[in-house]
Amino acid sequence: IEHIELKGIPALRLSIANGASAVLSLFGGQVLSWSPPAGGERLYLSPLAAHDGLQPIRGGIPVCFPQFADLGPLMQHGFARTAQWTVLTERHGKDFALVSLGLSDSAATRALWPHAFEAELSVLIEDNRLDLELEVGNRGDSEFSFTAALHTYLAVHEVEQTRLEGLHGYSYRDKTDANRIKRDSGDVVEIEAETDRIYHDVQRPLLLREYRRSLGINAEGFADVVVWNPWVERSAAIADLPKDGFRHLLCVEAAAAQHPVRLAAGERWWGRQTLVEL
Ligand code: TA6
């Protein structure tokens, strides 16, 4: 585990004996890169991403907390992705590297969201796996609720040739069609247009298939799966994404979106997303 700077932003590089590595930015508590031992980079990071320590970084795995998207009064995706996280623990052996980062309430967060909380993000690489766990505790004396997501940008060779399996039969909210609730009836999700869906109560691991490689995607604690690709028109409005960037990314996010998580004073919650190179 090395402390590095990435375009001036403090970050940690995790690497293990089998050749796997990951990069984790303290700004946003955001994983920016993950390469499993056998393959190349698995996360999409926009070449136009801001690295100014102010704007969110487009790509990797942004942490959306305490609000997912625009599901509340806060700024889009909450404040965690533009906050400075601190290193809580670093542990490594020959076969694994584990870092956990912390974020807790401050005058700045309380001005936006008046609650005493502590969040911990644990990032583990081991074998062919990346494991991300977000834990939230209520350290105040009254209940609060939040929505959240690990907004994972997966790198794909060509999004139109990518198939996402495992969502068959689940219902989803379609943001590209007036938030209508629909049911997925296809065997696989293919991306051929703007896609922005919240799948509800997903109980199965997912499989992302591409020519010659596959990725298993599993979640615990997070009830929902968000599938997002901005496609041509919406991409044009996203300044920090290149024109053809959408072709090389697919967001498959572990989210607590449909039902906010309620935490009574002193309670804790956790959710995890695991990516496995197959
Ligand atoms: O997770 C999907 C989503 O909420 C989309 O609606 C889309 O706007 C995306 O996130 C990216 O949001 P951002 O604020 O990072 O541009």
Domain that holds residue 265: 2-277
Evaluate whether 185 touches 199 at the Cβ level (below 8 Å).
no
Judge contact between 160 and 191, C-beta under 8 A: yes
Q: Please give the DSSP secondary-structure letter assigned to residue 231.
A: H
pLDDT digits (tens, 9 = 90+) for 122-149: 999 999 999 999 999 999 999 999 999 9
The whole-angstrom separation of Cα 141 and Cα 115 is 9
Nearest alpha-carbon partner for 272 in 52, 61, 35: 61
What ipTM does the predicted assembly reach? 0.98
pLDDT tens column, 198-212: 999 999 999 999 998
Is 81 in a helix, a strand, or coil?
A: helix
**What separation in Å is there between the alpha carbon of 265 and the centre of ligand 1?**
30
Closest CA relative to residue 164, chosen from 191, 189, 194: 189
Whether the bond between 66 and the residue before it is cis, its omega within 30 degrees of 0, is: yes
Q: Which atom of ligand 1 is nearest to the CA of 228?
A: 2
> Quick one: pLDDT at residue 201?
98
Residue 89: give its domain's CATH number. 2.70.98.10
pLDDT tens profile 81-117: 999 999 999 999 989 999 999 999 999 999 999 999 9
pLDDT of 173 > 80? The answer is yes
Per the CB < 8 A criterion, the answer to whether 120 and 142 are in contact is no
Q: Which amino acid is at 198?
A: I
Helix (H, G, I), strand (E, B) or coil at 88: strand
Query: Cβ–Cβ contacts within 10 Å for residue 222, how many?
Result: 22
Average pLDDT, integer, range 71-78: 98
CA-proximal residue: ligand 1, atom 2 (nearest): 228
pLDDT surpasses 80 at 39 = no
Q: Looking at ligand 1, which residue's alpha carbon is closest to its atom 16?
A: 238
């990314």: which residue's tokens? 249
Per-residue pLDDT at 111: 98
Distance from the CA of 17 to the center of ligand 1, in angstroms?
35
Q: Would you place residue 7 in the very low, low, confident or very high pLDDT band (cuts 50, 70, 90)?
A: confident
Instruction: Indicate the residue type of 30.
Output: Q
Per DSSP, 110 falls in state H
- Terminal Cα-to-Cα distance of the chain (whole angstroms): 25
Q: What is the pLDDT of residue 94?
A: 87
Lining ligand 1 with CB less than 6 A are 56, 69, 76-77, 151, 175, 196, 226, 228, 251, 253
**Number of domains, the chain:** 1
What tokens appear for 215 in the block? 């990725």
